Amino acid sequence: MQEYFGLPSAALVEKDWFVVQALAAIHDVEVDGLTLAFGGGTALGRAYRLLERMSEDIDLRIIGEKSTSRSVLKRFRSEVND
């Protein structure tokens, strides 16, 4: 995998694998029209194969209506955590 994607280290391959697993686990989470979107530098690096380095975290955005109640957000967080 390291050579195929042109990644500089095996550690980066491992980090990328964990990112993919985390994204797969939360892919289908939806509560009252809210979903998650993968964003930020890691997402851009992943999309455009710019993986010379990778941050330790991923940025997720909640996508949905602007006026969402606290109770809906709480249910959404609970669903993501499960």
What confidence score (pLDDT) does residue 51 get? Answer: 59
Domain that holds residue 69: 2-81
Q: What's the one-letter identity of residue 71? A: S
What are the residues facing 39 on neighbouring strands?
A: 59
pLDDT tens digits for range 36-64: 888 887 787 777 766 566 667 788 888 88
pLDDT band at 23 (very low <50, low <70, confident <90, very high): confident
- C-alpha 8, offset from chain centre: 22
Torsion over CA of 47, 77, 81 and 15, rounded to 10 degrees?
Answer: 20
Number of domains composing the chain: 1
What are the residues facing 35 on neighbouring strands?
A: 63
How many whole angstroms separate alpha carbon 12 and alpha carbon 33? 34
What confidence score (pLDDT) does residue 30 get? Answer: 86
Q: Per the structure block, which two tokens stand in for 15?
A: 């980090």
